[in-house]
Structure formats: structure tokens, C-alpha cells
Amino acid sequence: MADALKEELTRTMLHQGAYEVRVCDPRVGFEHGIPSRRPLDLAPECRSVLVWAIAKAPYANDTYVGPLRSQVDPQRLGQLPLHKLDPDYALRRTDDYFTLAVELVADRLLRSHGYRVFAVPPDKPQAKLSAYESGLAVYGRAGFVLHPVLGNRIRLGLLLTDAELAPDPKLAGFDPCAKCWACINACPAKAHDREKVYPASFDRPKCEARRKELDAESVYCNRCWAVCPAGKVKDDQLYSVVQPHIYPRRPE
């Protein structure tokens, strides 16, 4: 029953637009997660964590730095007439709705089988750790997660349930950072220790302090993310948010 449910869930979520769907066990691998934000802290009855990737089109990624940069600010959403919003920003926002659409069909399917689904805060706590534990992605040097096909051009979705679904193995043999230091070299804050491994290598206060300085100059710093060459799909060929089956998914 559990295998059949997982297969049905995966098929339904892929059809809705998820690029890839994986499962991890909330009782394994989260020991070093942030207290109060781990799956079992949020829902003690949770038995499976569903995590999926939405592929980001080039016009929907977060690197826009054009003349309408000031509009790429969530706090300003709703303060400007729609026709005056930067179209790149409006398209980027579709990622959020796309991710929620996938979550909605998974939620409905699980509930129809009598299982519970537990609320996850909007900031998707431990999404990166879930992606790593489920084998959806690995950590890059700068801390964002990297998918074997899409690299870091993804948005993650997360769902907690009491359904017992078979967890997927971690990724093996995928090390896109082995000979690459692009993200570390691009960091204007020099917030990464090259002698250590993430998360021990990352100095968050130093990063955030420099980001505030750049924000004051109307410069949006996302350089580590923007220069990452991981993945097999070029920026100008990234999976479109409106054409969900252009690129083949990872081979089984």
C-alpha cells in the first residue's frame, strides 16, 4: 500500500509540474537541524517528508538587477499598480504559486487516503536539509543545494505527513563543487572559510552585514547563487514555468 501510494503521489505531483519528487524519513538525518524547525518538532506524528523541486526559468530566477530593481522587493508587492510592476518580478512570483499547486494536489491525495498533512511555515524550514536527506540534491560550497540536472535553479517544496512512505537514498557520485570555487570567489563579503565545509565554513553575520551595505546602494547581492555553473541545463534553456515537460528528468 505504501509503495503504491508513493508511486501515485509522485505521478500526480510530476503531472502537476514538479520536476522531481523525493521522500526522506524525519527520524533520520535531522539531528543537527535547527531546533524547533525540524519536521518532528513541527509535527511529532510526522513519518515522511515529501520534498520536490520546481525548475526555475531564466526570467523567473532571482538575479534581476535592472533599472526596476527596487520593485523586486516582496514588501512592496501590492503597493504598485500591476501594470507598473517589473514583468520579470511578476513572472518570478509564479514560482510560489507553482510550488503551492503541487503541494495542493499532494495534500488532497494524502487526505483522500485517510492520512494527515501537517502545516509547514511559509519559509519552509529545513527544506534544504530535506532535499539533501532525500537525495534530491547535495550541498554546494556556499550552502545552497544543487540538483544533478538543474543545478541551483530550483525552488523547493515541502510537505509533512503521517503516511509511512519509503525514503529515497542520498545522492551518490555527484560532486559538482570538486574543482569549482566560483561561488566562494564571487562573495563580496568573503564570508566563507575555504578550509572548512558548509555549514561550518559560512560566516552568516559577515554575509548579512555586507548585504545590508549593498542594499543601501540599491545592489542586490546574490552573486554566489548567480555564478554557480552546476547542472546540465544552460540558463537560457531552463525548464519553463509554463511548459512543464520540456526537459527529461533525472534517469532512474
Evaluate whether 162 touches 244 at the Cβ level (below 8 Å): no
Q: Give me the domain span that covers residue 193.
A: 2-237
Between 169 and 70, whose confidence is greater? 169
Whole-angstrom CA distances from 38 to 19, 34, 47, 106, 169 are 24, 6, 12, 21, 19
For residue 100, tell me if it sits in a domain: yes
Mean pLDDT of the chain: 80
Confidence at residue 115, expressed as pLDDT on a 0 to 100 scale: 97
For residue 201, tell me if it sits in a domain: yes
For residue 247, tell me if it sits in a domain: no
For residue 158, tell me if it sits in a domain: yes
The residues with which 49 forms a beta bridge, in sequence order, are: 24, 160
For residue 248, tell me if it sits in a domain: no
Tell me the percentage of the chain whose pLDDT exceeds 90: 49
If 0-12 CB within 10 Å is exposed, 13-18 middle and 19+ buried, where does residue 149 land?
buried
How many domains would you assign to the chain?
1
pLDDT band for 241, please (50, 70, 90 cuts): very low
For residue 242, tell me if it sits in a domain: no
For residue 243, tell me if it sits in a domain: no
Q: Which of 4-13, 29-38, 88-97, 136-145 has the lowest mean pLDDT?
A: 88-97
**Is pLDDT above 90 for 113?**
yes
In tens, the pLDDT along 168-206 reads: 999 999 999 999 999 999 999 999 999 998 888 999 999
For residue 128, tell me if it sits in a domain: yes
Q: Is the peptide bond before 199 cis (omega within 30 degrees of 0)?
A: yes
Between 56 and 209, whose confidence is greater? 209
